[in-house]
Structure formats: structure tokens, C-alpha cells
Structure 1
């Protein structure tokens, strides 16, 4: 039989690559999934250099413009225009708009990150003189006057006050906030819509209004003295709408099929919420508590109105003035003395470290995803499964034992 071997490929046809034979391995070429190309980098760098050069020429030679902020804004606007012109040389309209939005979004992200880094670095730098002394963390300001050196006095009273006030606020807001979020999702109706509207309106409540509310209701009307409890109540007013709103959104994202499956097994509503809805939304609920804590831990005006200001350590939330870290930083920075200013920035740095620590602990406690159980939960599940197995075996063994007793009774005369 004759074998025909093609010597050429007809025009317009598709040629498939030859398959590797047995034992032959061909390395695969890695595919690039990113959309950023070298030409985009060149266009961005060229536009940046050109914008800075043109802006410098405008501010030094051609016009009488001055000011750092004006220079930066002008250079940025010129950068966007020049970058769009350079990209338009090789791309069409949609691609130009896409590249322009890409540059705009990333530049805004860099700006926000730069502002955050500047705030953190500036706070640490200004408070470096106070942070290097151990007494700054172990002493209070009872014996430290305006002219005392940094080796005397500290912020122990403010640290204890912040922890106590946040603990009081969390003890109030976590159960009430989560219960309200569950109510808004599991019991829909007109009243739920009304509550959701009130919660959304309270998210923009000024902090001084919350402080005045607790001052009028608890201190003036009920006769409560300025204390850590009153400050915790004022902080809880600020934290509660944040926790409710974010928890409401998270619980709303739980798939309805999970609820329907639980209801199909005969589980009541409270058991479905406790064993299905809340464990599924655990990570999101932890985030909602974190957001509320971040809102409350930095409040100053409610604490100033309801807790007062003290320089001694007070661990009793029911009696006596109690100082928090934001309030201590505010009072110390107002002083013209350099030592007080250094202590104020040091208190602000400790506050940032405390917030970071609280966030890490919250993530460790609630960072598991849906279906991921701890060791104790796994152990409880194993014990529950063994108990269910013994109950099923006892029920199955019941009829067989009864039948054997009946057979024995029949066989006897």
C-alpha cells in the first residue's frame, strides 16, 4: 500500500502541533494572565517625567504659581492627560479609558497608603522620646508635672481606662447588635424596615451628640456620676449602629438554601439561626465587631463629657473619673511643654498598637471560614455522633429483643 506524505500545507488551513511521543516530555510555556504590559510601564514613566518637567517649567519660568499642593495637583492632572495621549497612540477608545481608570485608581490607593504611613511614622517619631522609657507604661501622671522629665510619669491610667471602657461597650453592643441584626433578617416586616432606617441614620451620628445624650440621661436625669460606666455607655451608642449595619449585611449574604435545609429537617427558627446562620457568617460578624471597636476606641468627646479627666489610675468603672488613651493624648498635646507633647504622641502610638492587638485577637478568634471547626468543636461532634449511634443501635435492638422474648414464651408449655 502506498503512503502519501504531504509536503506542503494548503493556504488557509490550520496546522495542529505534533503530539509528543511516549517518553518524550515537552515543557509547557507559562501563560501570562496579567494585563500590564511593558508599553504601559513606559507610557506611565514617560507621562510622569513629562508632567513633572512641564509643571516645574510653569511654576518657575512661565507663570507666578507657587505652593507645594498646587504643584502636586497640576503635575497629577498633566500626568493623566499625557498618559491618555500616549496610550491613545496604540489603543482604541475603550482601552484608553481602561488604562486611565487603572492609573487613577492605583494612584488613589498609593495616596491613601502614603497618608496612613505618614500618620503612623509621624506619631512614632514624635513620641519616640517617651516610648523609650519603661516608666511610661508602668506609671501614671499623679507625680508628673509639666516640668518633670520623661523619666517620671506615664500612661498606665489611660491604658486601664481604655480597656475598661471598651470592655463595657463591647459587653453591651455585641449581644444587642447581633440580636438586632438577626431580627432585621429573620423577622422581616414594617417594624424591621423602620429599625433599619433608624440604624442607618445613627451611623452618621456625631460623637458629641452621643456624649450629650448619655450625660443628660444617665448623669443629670438618673444621678450617675462621671465614671467609666457612663463613658462605656456613650461609646456603645457610637459602636452599636456600626455593628448592626455591618452584621445585617453579612447575615443577608448567608444563602437561603442553608436555612431551607435546616427548616426541612424540622429545626425551629432559633436553632437554625444558632447552628446555621451565625456559624456561616462568623468571619463577617467578627469584622463587624472590629469595625465597631475601631469606631469606639478612638472617641474623645463622649469620654470627656461622661468620664471626666484624672491623672491617677482608676480601675472601678462605677465610681470616679476615668481617663482613656484618646483623651489623654488630647489633653497632653494641648500643653506647650515638650515633655507633655512627647507623652501625648506616645499615648497615641500606644493606642494604635492596642487597636492592632485587638484586631489580631479578633481575627484569631473568628477567622475560621464556614465549616472549619476548632479542636474542641471537633471533639464535641465526635462525641455527639457516638451518642447518636448508640441511640440508633438501642432502638434497632429493641424490636429484635422483644421478638425473641415472645418466641421463648410461645415455646414454653
Structure 2
């Protein structure tokens, strides 16, 4: 696992603000409509620290400078306050899940020392250099760390129980509902001896990034930076992969192309069926804009790459198709397809937890946007500066 360390960050000031009014989703799942909703929800919302205060503005250097200034203003105004001592946090979220019920996710929030992939932490998705370059530039402009990398492991709660750091350990910082009604609970553990015991207990556990590959890679790039002396650490949540409150959903694929410059839909679909339909195994579908559907079944074979990778390899035979869009909800995917003149939708099955863990520990790298973890780890419950030493 990466070296998880206590840090001295900032938390919502419960005497001045309802913490749930500060909390927002991570930046990459906030469309413009939600951005505006969060701005209107509360003047203290952390969306201002990650996307600025104008949903229509282009995310440029000026916006990112303003994001950093906005968080620092929240400190100056007492909306968020500095912790007295470095701490590790027990964190949980009770949230409304996709199936319409309620789930509970539990784990630990600390900072992770970014170390090269394979040295205690594995990745499962491709890293896009241009995204890392953008995030590095953003980090230099904002000098804050608000986004939380999501890590998964096995046996976390057993290990924490051995050092008396179960879900109820520590002092309650807050329990508060956010704009959706999801309830966030943060508990502080800052006794130095207890902190050291937790850090030592966590270090031997292998872990994998569930969400936040590019944020983790950004911290790798900033390690040793003269300006951002805390840039080589990143806020991180770690939770047990096997807990019931963590769900892995599929991310679907839609390819749209000009039929005058590429193959017809039937040719593409028939090639996919020829290569990937085993007649047994996980069921999934192809849907075309013409309304035709194909039902496929593909065996889960650990001797072959993920289905998403095998599908990408088939599509590579048709370069005219280009890159897909990747909706993760079937209804949204079908709606997108209905607004396309010519395209094919692949409704993929989810990657199971066992398959995810086995492939990731074997250092298999999936195509981008293969998995969608629920819930996302929110922004705003605890944040930090990166131009100060806080570990």
C-alpha cells in the first residue's frame, strides 16, 4: 500500500457552517447543471474550490487561481479551520444507491505518499499524459489539495480492529447530510501513538486505485517540487473492496461515425459478435441507431484481457470509428444513442470485484473508463494546502 500518513489539514467549522453544505462530488462528475445547483445550494460549497464560481467559464489559469484563492478565503473567514495536530480520519458515507436503496461505505482518510506504481499501490486504468499535464498545471496554480483518491484493499477492517481503529474510533468531527441527503461522518484520530500504530498497520496491505489515477500520478509528478513541498502527497480514502457498500458498475461504449466515411453498422456489429460472442457467460448487448439489438454472452477468462480491452481491439480494425463516449447508466446511454445519426452502443456487463482484484494485482491495465465505482469520494470534508509541510 502507499504510505498512508496523518496530516494537518482543514475541516468545516461546525460553529459557522453545516458541513454538508461544504461537501460536493469530485470535479469529474459535476456537469454544468450540477455546478450551478451546488453554487445555489450554499455559498460555502467546495465546488468553488475545484471548478470556480461560473459554470459557463472555461477552466483556464485564471479560474484555477481563483479556486485556490476561494479556499484560502474560506480559511480566512473561518468557514473551514485548521486542525491542531496531524490526524488520520475514520470516514463513512451513508448514501442513496443506484438501485434505490441505502448503502454504507466505510474507510480511512489520510494522505498517501505517492510512490511509483507497483510499490504498494497498483493501477487498473491507462494514464492519459495530457490529463496529468493539465492537473499538474492546475496544482501549481491552486496550491491546494481537495480531490480524494479512492483506494481499495482486502482485510482493512480486521487490520484496523487490531489497533483499535474501528469505525467508531476517534473523536466525532461532524455528521452531516449533503445536498443529496447522503450523510457523511468524519471522526478524528490524532493521538500520536495511535496514529503511528495505524500507519504501521496499513503499510503492509497491497492496494489498488479504484478512482483517481490521474490525481495520484499528479502527486508522483510533483514529488520533490520546490514550490509545492506537500505536492508529493495526495488526499486518499482507503476502504475494503469486499464491503457491501462499495459497488462496481460498468461503463458502456458508444461509437458514432459518418457512414459515408466508414463501415455500415451491420459490418461492425457482426465482427463484434464473431469475435466476442461465446454463447455462454456474461450477457451483454449491442444496440444500433437503426433499432436493431444483438444479445451476446462472453465467458470471463482470466487468460484473456478484460472484455472492454477485447472490444477495443475489435473496434481498432475500424479506425474510422474513433474514440467512444462512455456513459455508465443504461438509460443515459440509450438516450445518447437516440440522438445520434449513425452509431452503435455496447451495453457491457460490470467487472466483478474478484476479477477487478485479480487482474489489478497481476498489473493488468484496463482501457480508460472501464469501471465506475459507487459511491464517489466527495470533496470538502477535509482539505489541505500543498505549498506547506503538513505531514
- Scaled to the shorter chain, the TM-score interval is under 0.3
Normalization by structure 1: what TM-score?
Answer: 0.20
Normalization by structure 2: what TM-score?
Answer: 0.21
Bigger fraction of residues in helix: 1
The structure with more radius of gyration:
1
Higher relative contact order (CA 8 A, sep 6+): 2
